[in-house]
Structure 1
Amino acid sequence: METVNKTREAMDTISDKENGATSSNTNSGNGIFASAKESFESASRLLRRKIPRTGHLMTPRRLWINTVPTQECDIVIMFPHKTEDMELMWMLSQLRNGTPGLVVQVKHHPSTDSYGLYLTAPFSLMLKTAEELHLPKRLKQEHGGGLKEFVQLEMDLFETGEDMDKDFFTTQERQWMVYHLLHTLRASANDQFGTFKFVEGQAIIPKCLSEGLISQIYPLHDLDALQQLRQSWVRTFVKKQPLDSVCKYFGVKIAMYFAWLGHYTFMLIIPAFMGFIFWIGFGRGDQSSEDIGYVLFSLFNVIWFSIYLEAWKRYSSELAYKWGTLDQRHELLREPRPLYSGNLERSPVTGRLEPTYPAWKRHVFRYFVTVPVIVLCLTVVLCVMVISLKSQDWWDKHIQNEGYYFWLSYLPKVLLAVIITLLDEAYYKVALWLNDMGKMS
């Protein structure tokens, strides 16, 4: 850090000398303007040093337009703007000592006066991590094809691209493995980040995130792959979704979500068509015909939904087998939740000190807070439903007796839709609150 500051000061000194030489060579007619320009530039440099957040306001606009994304980087760790140099150096030493071979670059962001660590890993470290994570990779056709857990000794059996270092692992796989390496960092005895003290064996990165010592961790985009997805996916209308490309870039979870979204949207064509048929056949008759149509359409929806669930299970299993997650191993042991900071007790299983929450406090919150809130929400929903049905019947009779327009009968339905939207937003916030309280217990 001292080298960076000295370099910056040296460049400012050279710039001052150059400006001084330029002003001395100008004629007397332009001396006033040159002197004013020199004073303005000196004041700008002084402000950029003293007030780093205003530096981007004095930077030429073309430098922001022609920005070039950082290359050779998978994960970025950002720190708050008040992070001290000693804290940054401690984290840097933990990364280099805890994960040997990890490439770490330190960069300062003048616009926010914050530092970022740009992380990537060499190909040799990626191979070792892939074997530890049992990453499934595709075999060559002459060796049977299909997916198999990666083993370094059998490297020649797996498919590789033209450039093995760049094409063997996808962007998502590289970022996932670097993220895994970050979570393998464990604190030793008496480790301290600023004023926060770690417990021996505690995960460093998740705890720093929960305590606000690290502002955020995020991956960087691959602009070339992102542009290809934009052309083949976002800007198309009737083409089939490129799920394989989405899986390679965003991962299996995101690809599975969009696979379900496309499958569900396509399957909704059937009930939409049948609903239109029922509306034509039963929606223009008397009340008894409409009731028969509603019952038949409800029965059809039950049958359709059951068939749809089985179809989605089959389709999702095919995708999971194709993407190598059908028989993927799960983590048997996970680090205790970093968001909870309670009393430390020795675990009877591992023998280590772990944060422990009293069971009686959890039961008290569950039975005296969670259960009453859920019962109250269900009661409100039941009351709203009953009132809506009663008001709809009363309004229909009132319209029939008074001879109002038929479209006025939809007013209670519109009101019910508005109430459901408001209640849904309220219940969502209540659920988030209960979930956050549950994580802390």
Structure 2
Amino acid sequence: MSDYSEGEKTVEISVIDSQYKDKRSQKALVYDFDEELDKIKITILEIEKHRKLHLLNDDVKLYDEICLWKGSNPEASLATAIENFAKFKTADAIAKVIYNYEFPDFIIKFNEKGDKVTKREINQLKRLNFEKLLLRAGLILEFELDSDRVFTYIKVIAPFEKLCNQAEKQKLKMAITTKITKFPKRRFNLFSSIAYMFVYKVDLNKKSAVFKKDRLQSFEGSDPSKTEGEIRLNFFNSARRILMVHNIINCAAQINHQVNVDGKLVTVRRTIKSLAIETLLHKKVFRDFYSLHDGPIKSKLPFNQMNLRAKLDQKWVKSKIRPQPLKEIRNYFGEKLALYFAWLGFYTSWLSIATFGGFIVVLYGLVEILRHETLNDGIGGFSILYDNVLTVPYAFIMAVWATFFLEYWKRTNAAIQHEWDCFEFEKEELPRPKFYGTVLVKSPITMKDEIEFPFSAKFKRYLVSVVVILICMLVVLISVGFFIIYPKLWIEDDVLAFFASSVANLISIIILNTLYSYVAVWLTDLENHRTETEYEDALILKTFIFEFVNNYAALFYIFIFKQGLLKTIIHSNSIRSQCDYDNCMTDLSIQLAIIFVGRQAWAQFTEIFIPWMRLKYNKKKNQEELKELQKKYAASSHSNIPQWVTDEKLLKTDSVQVEYTELILQFGFLTLFGSAFPLASLFAFLNNISEIRSDAFKYIHLSRRPFCGQAQDLGTWEPILQLISLISVLTNAIIIAFYSTWMTDKFEKHLGQNNPDRLLVARLTFIILFEHLVFGIKTIFTYIIPDVPKEVRIAIEREQYNIKLQLKDKSPVLDEIFVTKKT
């Protein structure tokens, strides 16, 4: 995290403790508490009785000048005022306050009277110090009382100059206005037209570059036709503003100190944990912290004049047939959430192929049931639905399908990375505000001193994580064993006992998942990861390990261990340990159906129905309150209830990783055990179609606006998907070889019924041949399908070349110009 100019002996590091050691000199660096906060003086200006502006002393004169100018120009717009004072760095943010701009970048809420008497003074001091940190960071703060004068909303507004500096710091890429030759259109034939339905439509003519403030006129949004005021108001869209201001607020509690280490000036960036925004929220110093939607959902304006939220409601939530408007989703919610919806849409479209294959298997099985009249044979008679001559081809097709799906997602993701300007996001990603180092080391790449969290410290914390995860997995295995054994002890009917065991296991899965989610977050916080991507990857890995055991343990028990193992372990002849129907494949299918469908139903219920009911209940409950608020705010400077008041009543958003977890587990169910339940892909397809619309409804109607984070890919989920795909080859081969009645009949027909040794050899031979054939095909396709499409690779290289010409003022060399000469 070093950041200093050549020739300077300054090292920028980040620490959280009061002491740390230089790895080479072993000298302790000790410093006093920073006194800069005491030096910051704040002026409080009353705009209205319920509104106050808190400024640094240097900005007070500018505020007076803008107020005086507005009084002399009452008809002038906000954009005109900003243009008139464009030479001042904070003028646009102060002008927004004066003009009562309705959409600040962030809201921080507190209730001073609600503090406990014993903590009131210390909380006031913490709020004052945090306010100083935000002002020191270059933000503008307006304090507004609610209509009952109980709660105070701090409206955080970032000046345009500060956003430009932050965009450079975060190395955000922005679209530029260079005119380049358009990429040739792809040629379509029958095959490409079908394939095009399953890939992301990418704009190959996109052109963008890392933002440079001194090159502002080269970027889109700064057209010569626009005034300076319009540019400063609208250059950064609301998603980009939220992303940057969120980062500024999160890093506001970092204070710089200068100390001398071995004759070298070291800038120590210390995180004051007690003044970090998350700590202040946890300690109830502040009651809330959120970003705003860009307006109401319902609008009477023409479509092209609606806010983006209202447009998404029309094009996305209410549209039943159209493809997802991913460009608009990205512009409103940021790349991280947009990537989730891109992957969900891609996955769902590919599920249509798997659904067709599973439907054919079941349809053939239904015909066989009617032909052989096995309906009277009980539940076991229905096994022909999924256990028939098409089961082996279906398992083979699903294994190949998974390979094609993952390979084509890589290609789609490469296209998205190019169009969304996040191809190298992880390389340029800034450290997490919570990250801290303890030793100074020399970087082998830059040869500069930088802070590091040493491997020895990491190893100890990883060891703690491993131990805790193993304990959690042991709890799961005990739980699974309990729900397998206990119902059989008090329920005499084997079928009823099996169903009771399956339902109890489903409930156990849901409860343990909820509890473990808190454990996983605590462990990942403990590990002190450098970047947000590293943090999320570590959290994903912990989550998946536990979820894999918790969700699949009962299924693995059935298809590997159930035959006689339970009886052997507990030495009880009173317990039936064999499969409860004609074969274990029926047991596996029923257990899979209960867990698979039950999990999806529960997810839809908790994610959509419960929040929707809560919102309806609160809306009805607060109907009179809303009418009263309307009257109160109408009497003030607001014509309607402010956006921050309506957004406050919305639900807090969960991490998008929760959404990914459900879908990855779904993918595991239908690939690992797909041959035992071919209709899994149909249920997954129907669930995901509903999931797209319900999630869209949730994020637009029910939830607060997320913090518009960035993401380059699925992170650790991608290798996990690859791993599941590989394991599924073996699991399906075992299911077919050992538990398929149809396959057993074929073996016995050729080998004889009373020859178990030859039958075992035949089954093992089938498994080896099946997995070798499938692994071979998967390997071939993995290597022959490039991860980055040729046209995307060319588009990336063309963009880099053209950007180099424009932003670096370099002309092409002679051999890059085609010259024609008249004779």
Q: Which residue does 2:165 correspond to in 1? A: 128
Amino acid at match of 2:163: M
Mapping of residues 194-273 of structure 1, within 5 Å: 201-203=270-272, 204-223=276-295, 224-273=307-356
Q: CA deviation at 1:280?
A: 1.9
1 CA distance for matches of 2:354 and 2:254?
56
Aligned to 1:292, the other structure's residue is in SS state coil
Q: RCO greater where, 1 or 2, for CA within 8 Å and sep 6 or more?
A: 2
Aligned CA distance change for structure 1 residues 241 and 7 (closer, same or farther; 3 Å): closer
Note the 1:42-191 alignment, pairs <5 A.
Answer: 71-81=102-112, 82=115, 85-97=124-136, 99-100=137-138, 102-109=139-146, 111=148, 113-142=150-179, 146-160=207-221, 162=226, 163-188=230-255
1:281 aligns with: 364
**Superposed CA offset, 1:209-261 (max 9, x none):** 44443333211110122111111111110011110001001000111111111
Correspondence for 1:424:
509
Letter in 2 for 1:370: I
Assess, with a 3 A threshold, how the Cα gap between structure 1 residues 388 and 244 changes in structure 2: closer, same or farther.
farther
- Deviation per residue, 1:413-434 (Å, 9 max, x gap): 8656634431321221232242
Q: How far did 1:104 drift?
A: 1.1
TM-score, normalization by structure 2: 0.37
Deviation by residue 1:276-325 (Cα, 9 ceiling, x = unmatched): 21112234256896343333322222221221111222112211211101
Unaligned runs of 5+ in 1: 9-68, 191-198, 339-344, 397-410
How far did residue 333 of structure 1 move?
Answer: 3.8
Question: In 2, Cα distance between the equivalents of 1:151 and 1:361?
Answer: 42
**3-state SS, counterpart of residue 161 of structure 2:** helix
Query: Which residue number in structure 2 is paired with residue 12 of structure 1?
Result: none
| 2:429 paired residue number | 331
| CA 1:111–1:270: 2 relative to 1, 3 Å | farther
8 Å CA contact 1:336–1:355 kept in 2: the answer is no
Go from structure 1 to structure 2 and tell me whether the alpha carbon gap of 1:331 and 1:351 turns closer, same or farther (over 3 Å shift): closer
Q: Which amino acid is 1:267 matched to? A: W
SS at match of 1:76: strand
Partner of 1:377: 476
Letter in 2 for 1:180: N
Distance (whole Å) between structure 1 residues aligned to residue 509 and residue 248 of structure 2: 39
Change (3 A) 1:90 1:140: same
Asked if the contact 1:127/1:152 (under 8 Å) is kept, the reply is yes
How does the TM-score come out when normalised to structure 1?
A: 0.66
Per the alignment, do residues 414 and 299 of structure 1 end up closer, same or farther by CA in structure 2, a change over 3 Å counting? Answer: farther
Which residue in 1 is equivalent to 2:598? none
Aligned to 2:236, what secondary structure does the other structure show? coil
Aligned amino acid, residue 128 of structure 1: N
Alpha-carbon spacing, 1:152–1:298, altered in 2? closer, same or farther (3 Å): same
CA deviation map 1:144-182 (0-9, x unaligned) = 751210112222221126532233211100111111221
Question: 1:310/1:383 Cα in 2 relative to 1: closer, same or farther (>3 Å)?
Answer: farther
Give the structure 1 partner of residue 378 of structure 2.
none
Is the 1:76–1:219 Cα contact (8 Å) retained in structure 2?
Answer: yes
Amino acid at match of 1:222: D
Once structures 1 and 2 are overlaid, which stretch shifts more, 215-224 or 364-373? 364-373
> Is the Cα–Cα contact under 8 Å of residues 178 and 218 in structure 2 kept in the other structure?
no
Corresponding letter in the other structure for 1:132? K
Q: Distance in 1 between matches of 2:482 and 2:507?
A: 15
Tell me, in whole angstroms, the C-alpha distance in 2 between the residues paired with 1:121 and 1:375.
Answer: 50
Secondary structure of the residue that 2:271 maps to in structure 1? coil
- Whether the 8 Å contact between 2:294 and 2:308 is mirrored in structure 1 is yes
Q: How does 1:355-370 map to 2 (within 5 A)?
A: 362=461, 365-366=464-465, 368-370=467-469
Contact 1:74 1:118 in 2 (8 A): yes
Residue 386 (structure 1) shift: 9.6
Length, aligned pairs only: 347
CA gap of 1:304–1:386, structure 2 versus 1, over 3 A, is: farther
| Whole-angstrom CA distance in 2 between matches of 1:378 and 1:106 | 54
Deviation at 1:352, TM superposition (A): 8.4
State the AA in 2 paired with 1:324: D
Residues in 2 aligned to 1:151 and 1:415: alpha-carbon distance in whole angstroms: 64
Letter in 1 for 2:471: P
Q: Distance in 1 between matches of 2:451 and 2:207?
A: 41
The reply to whether residue 313 of structure 1 matches residue 313 of structure 2 is no
CA distance in 2, matches of 1:248, 1:427: 36
| Deviations 1:1-32 (CA, angstroms, capped at 9, x unpaired) | 99869958xxxxxxxxxxxxxxxxxxxxxxxx
Counterpart AA for 2:218: L
Q: Contact 1:143–1:157 (CA<8 Å) still a contact in 2?
A: no
* Structure 2 match to 1:22: none
When residues 225 and 291 of structure 1 are mapped into structure 2, their CA distance, relative to the original with a 3 A threshold, is same
Contact persistence 1:186–1:200 (CA under 8 A): no
1:384 shift after superposition: 5.8
What is the one-letter code of the residue matched to 2:422? T
Deviation, structure 1 residue 206: 3.9
Residue type of the partner of 1:220? L
Equivalent AA in structure 2 for residue 259 of structure 1 = A
Deviation at 1:128, TM superposition (A): 2.0
Query: How far did 1:137 drift?
Result: 0.7
Q: Which amino acid aligns with 1:320?
A: Q
Aligned 8 A contact 1:278 1:293 in 2: yes
Letter in structure 2 aligned against 1:428: N
CA distance in 2, matches of 1:301, 1:371: 32
3-state SS, counterpart of residue 71 of structure 1: coil
Q: 1:436 to 1:243 in 2, by over 3 A?
A: closer
**Aligned partner letter, 1:373:** C
Query: What's the offset of the Cα at 1:114?
Result: 2.8
* Contact kept in structure 1, 2:163 and 2:244, CA below 8 Å: yes
Residues 170, 430 of structure 2: 8 Å contact kept: no
Tell me the distance in 1 between the aligned counterparts of 2:407 and 2:331. 26
Deviations 1:114-146 (A, max 9, x none): 322111122222222212211101111426751
Q: What's the RMSD between the two structures over aligned residues?
A: 4.0
Task: Specify the code of the residue in structure 2 equivalent to 1:266.
Answer: S
